[in-house]
Structure 1
Amino acid sequence: MIRFLDLCFAFAGLVLGFPVLLLLTIIGLFDTGSPIFCQTRVGRYQKPFTLLKFRTMSLDTASVATHLASASSITRFGHFLRKTKLDELPQLWNVLKGEMSLVGPRPGLFNQTELTDARSKRNVFNVRPGITGLAQISEIDMSTPELLAETDEKMIKTMSLKSYFHYIVATALGKGAGDRIH
């Protein structure tokens, strides 16, 4: 049932949101010259996949977890995208392709070994990674890998249709601040 909802919402979001996606892409072209950010992430069963986002940082920013990046690397438009969570919209394509779910553990980078190990111990990789989830609305980010893995495990064990919609609505209403940046 969750996968069916993911497909319906992702398809509707891409179709209905196309004008917004197009506008953000054009503005992003002027902002950084490369509006779409692609990065290899750890997916279900620890298989790699290419995550899509709107670029929020300058092109020369190192490929590290957000909490390790410098705040000065975020562009003015990037601040807006992050605050409104519009930078996540291209991930609807990842959901449509079956690489992600709307709700699930945020996918980490392969160089985040502490997080990967903690999630492996808790079988977090048995589900699709998600755009949002319990950790995101609880303001738990990748800077605390053990806590994040515990929270992901709790979300997975208690997932229901009610919680699925709760995480989506809470995110849409602005709950959660996203990853910390120093």
Structure 2
Amino acid sequence: MTPKRVVDLTGAALLLLVLAPLLLTAAAAVAVTSPGPVLLRRERVGLGGRTFTMLTFRTGHPGAVTPVGRALRRHFLDHLPQLLNVVRGEMSLVGPHPLPPDALPAGLGPERARLAVRPGMTGLWQVGGRSELPWEEMTVLDLHYVEQHWLGLDLAILARTVPVAIAGRSVVHAAPAAPVRVA
């Protein structure tokens, strides 16, 4: 087992344990405030091009985001069920943005390099602009991560994710110009 997988498995298991009350509260709030399933299952492409079912809390109903859903999305809480994807080995705590199969370009283009690592719950795309980023910038951040990933970068991204989640917004809007190394 690689050090990254040990961190992923340990971190996800600890987070599931510590955040269990929050997860149960969020699930109950989703269930009580609007009809439908509590969890959404979305097909995504993972390591090596294998598809998997990514889990998220449902944040709306047809045509609208619910108030509970808006709060969950603002603080990234809708992504917490993905901790189960991390435990199952389908995702990592940190990695490229998980894409649906139809969003991945065909062929051997540079964007397919993202398949060399597991997609992540967070990444440079999340702490660097999130949904405000155009597709091209998200791709640049993902490819930068794939080229430069190492455990120290993962830990730095995780540390930056916490204030971003608490603030409910991204705080940085560009990829680092050069890889960040800790001596």
| TM-score bin, normalised by smaller chain | 0.7 to 0.9
1:47 matched to 2:50? The reply is yes
Q: Which residue pairs with 1:2 in the alignment?
A: 4
Tell me the matched-pair count: 164
Q: Which residue pairs with 2:179 in the alignment?
A: none
On the 8 A contact 1:118/1:146 being kept in 2, the answer is: no
Q: Which residue pairs with 1:69 in the alignment?
A: none
Q: Which residue pairs with 2:102 in the alignment?
A: 111
Deviation at 1:125, TM superposition (A): 0.6
Task: Give the aligned residue type for 2:4.
Answer: I
TM-score, length-normalised on structure 2? 0.81
Using the alignment, how far apart are the partners of 1:111 and 1:144 within structure 2?
17
- What is the Cα-based RMSD across aligned positions, in Å? 2.3
Structure 1 residues 118 and 146: CA distance shift in structure 2, 3 A = farther
Gaps of 5+ in 1: 62-72
Using the alignment, how far apart are the partners of 2:160 and 2:92 within structure 1?
16
Using the alignment, how far apart are the partners of 1:57 and 1:21 within structure 2?
17
Using the alignment, how far apart are the partners of 1:113 and 1:103 within structure 2?
19
On the 8 A contact 1:105/1:130 being kept in 2, the answer is: yes
Using the alignment, how far apart are the partners of 1:52 and 1:118 within structure 2?
27
Deviating beyond 4 angstroms after TM superposition, the runs of 4 or more aligned structure 1 residues are 113-118, 140-143
The residue correspondences of 1:28-107 to structure 2 (distance < 5 A) are: 28-33=30-35, 34-58=37-61, 60=62, 73-107=64-98
RCO comparison, higher one (Cα < 8 Å, 6+):
1
Using the alignment, how far apart are the partners of 2:21 and 2:130 within structure 1?
32
Q: Residue by residue, what CA displacement relative to the aligned partner does 1:16-60 show, whole Å, maximum 9, x if unpaired?
A: 2112111111111012232111111111112110000111121x3
1:169 matched to 2:159? The reply is yes
Q: Residue by residue, what CA displacement relative to the aligned partner does 1:95-117 show, whole Å, maximum 9, x if unpaired?
A: 00000000001111122245996
Q: Residue by residue, what CA displacement relative to the aligned partner does 1:88-140 show, whole Å, maximum 9, x if unpaired?
A: 110000000000000001111122245996521xx111100000111111115
Gaps of 5+ in 2: 171-183
Structure 1 residues 80 and 115: CA distance shift in structure 2, 3 A = farther
Using the alignment, how far apart are the partners of 2:80 and 2:131 within structure 1?
19
Task: Give the aligned residue type for 1:45.
Answer: G
On the 8 A contact 1:136/1:177 being kept in 2, the answer is: no
What secondary structure is seen at the aligned counterpart in 1 of 2:121?
A: strand
